[in-house]
């Protein structure tokens, strides 16, 4: 199986020994507390599950600046996006060496991790802007990732952590949420060697389904791992529970048995385009995938990135930075000429009128009106789940 990123073995930070867990939980109740942002809490979950291997905790300012500018830490570890714990109020943790990190996303704000504080540093406005522009490619506050990052505090609290739980993901998405450790174990149990990962924050329509098939066939893969984001999204995105139901229905009806592994991970979407695409590749290598499908406008939002920027960034990173390989895909759509889904670059004789195209706005309007999109766009079983969702939203 493919090795984890930058290590010979995964380094999940979740405390699984019962006695150690009980000891740390008791200790945490008497420690000074820091209420995390949603993004930092999701980072703790990713550290706990091994997706951020080989990191041991939250980055300090020097590493954050180095990662933003050069895509590697001060010590030379390749990493595409800073992993930060930002706050605006450090009054309760100044001068202490150990703190409890509390979860903002669960009632009662329980402790999600215990942290050894190595540094509390102020990020200057110029440094915050530099990180923002290098990671997101813009300072435009209409970019949802930029808005979230800029709204977080300018105090950077760094150091190694021990994770006590995996937040709401374990309970709200039982059976779907999996750690990198669990997915590696599943891949090994299936005997898969070549594994294609597909990242999604949306329900999968027919073009996505066929793209997974194309990648599996062309790479002679043993299976595909459909890996959905379960964390916070921007307003208007389909809720994770609905996406989960859509994807599982599609897999159950239209894929051969034991050819697809469906799971999800607990991370708040950044919408950082190329940089987030590389981070997605790190996640997938750590969970055991050998290939990641990177399609048109991967992890993008609006018009902030070029359609293939997320593929081109992989051509610029230093050789040997990661072991996972990229399956670079073009936009896929139903061809009226060929009566099947094709990648557009592979159909040079086609004009736009030769494809079945529906905008996201049009699809939402149809679903909201109880009208199923055409079979060339969406499976009827998937469309029904989405229509039920929009109907329920409308009351």
pLDDT, tens digit, for every residue of 105-130? 999 999 999 999 999 999 999 999 99
Q: Which member of 154, 202, 213, 248 is catalytic?
A: 202
Of the residues 98, 190, 201, 213, which is catalytic? 201
In CATH terms, the fold of domain 175-265+271-394 is Rossmann fold (3.40.50)
What is the C-alpha to C-alpha distance for residues 143 and 148, in angstroms, rounded to an integer? 9
Residue 202 is among the residues annotated as catalytic for this protein? yes
For residue 68, CA distances in Å to 272, 298, 326 come to 12, 19, 22
Cis peptide, bond prior to residue 339, ω within 30 of zero: no
**pLDDT tens for residues 23-49?**
999 999 999 999 999 999 999 999 999
**pLDDT tens-digit map of 319-329:** 999 999 999 99
Which of 205-209, 283-287, 315-319, 332-336 is modeled with the greatest confidence?
283-287
Distance CA 358, CA 356 (A): 7
Specify the CATH number of the domain 18-167.
Answer: 3.10.400.10
The residue extents of the domains of the chain are 18-167, 175-265+271-394
DSSP annotation string for 337-351: TTTEEEEGGG-TT--
Provide the 8-state DSSP code for 346.
G
pLDDT at 252 over 90: yes
pTM across the whole model: 0.94
Structure tokens at 349: 């004789």
Verify whether residue 258 is a known catalytic residue.
no
The token pair that represents 238 in the structure block: 């389909």
Determine the pLDDT at residue 244.
92
By the 8 A CB rule, do 291 and 196 touch? yes
Rg (CA), the chain: 21
């Amino acid at each position: 199986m493919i090795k984890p990123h930058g290590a010979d073995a995964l380094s999940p930070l979740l405390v699984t020994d019962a006695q150690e867990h009980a000891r740390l939980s008791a200790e945490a109740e008497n420690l000074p507390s820091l209420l995390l942002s949603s993004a930092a809490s999701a980072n703790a979950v990713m550290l706990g599950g091994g997706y951020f291997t080989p990191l041991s905790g939250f980055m300090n300012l020097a590493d954050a600046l180095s990662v933003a500018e050069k895509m590697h830490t001060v010590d030379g570890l390749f990493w595409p996006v800073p992993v930060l714990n930002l706050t605006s109020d450090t009054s309760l943790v100044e001068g202490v060496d150990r703190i409890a990190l509390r979860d903002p996303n669960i009632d009662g704000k329980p402790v999600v991790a215990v942290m050894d504080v190595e540094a509390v540093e102020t990020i200057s406005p110029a440094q915050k802007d530099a990180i923002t522009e290098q990671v997101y490619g813009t300072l435009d506050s209409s970019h949802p990732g930029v808005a979230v990052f800029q709204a977080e505090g300018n105090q950077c609290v760094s150091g190694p952590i021990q994770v006590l739980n995996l937040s709401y993901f374990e309970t709200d998405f039982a059976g779907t949420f999996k750690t990198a450790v669990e997915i590696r174990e599943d891949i090994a149990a299936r005997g898969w060697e070549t594994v294609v990962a597909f990242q999604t924050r949306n329900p999968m329509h027919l073009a996505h389904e066929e793209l997974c098939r194309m990648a599996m066939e062309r790479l002679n893969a043993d299976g595909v791992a459909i890996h959905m984001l379960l964390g916070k999204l921007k307003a208007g995105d389909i809720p994770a529970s609905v996406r989960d139901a859509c994807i599982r229905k599609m897999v159950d009806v239209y894929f051969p048995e034991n050819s697809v592994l469906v799971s999800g991970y607990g991370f708040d979407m950044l919408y950082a385009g190329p940089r987030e695409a590389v981070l997605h590749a790190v996640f997938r290598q750590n969970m055991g995938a050998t290939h990641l499908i990177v399609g048109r406008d991967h992890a993008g939002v609006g018009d902030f990135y070029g359609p293939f920027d997320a593929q081109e960034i992989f051509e610029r990173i230093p050789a040997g930075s990661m072991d996972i390989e990229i399956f670079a895909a073009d936009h896929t759509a139903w061809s009226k000429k060929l009566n099947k889904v094709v990648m557009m670059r592979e159909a040079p004789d086609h004009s736009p009128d030769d494809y079945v195209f529906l905008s996201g706005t049009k699809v939402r309007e149809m679903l909201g009106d109880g009208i199923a999109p055409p079979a060339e766009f969406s499976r009827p079983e998937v469309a029904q789940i989405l229509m039920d969702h929009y109907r329920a939203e409308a009351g």
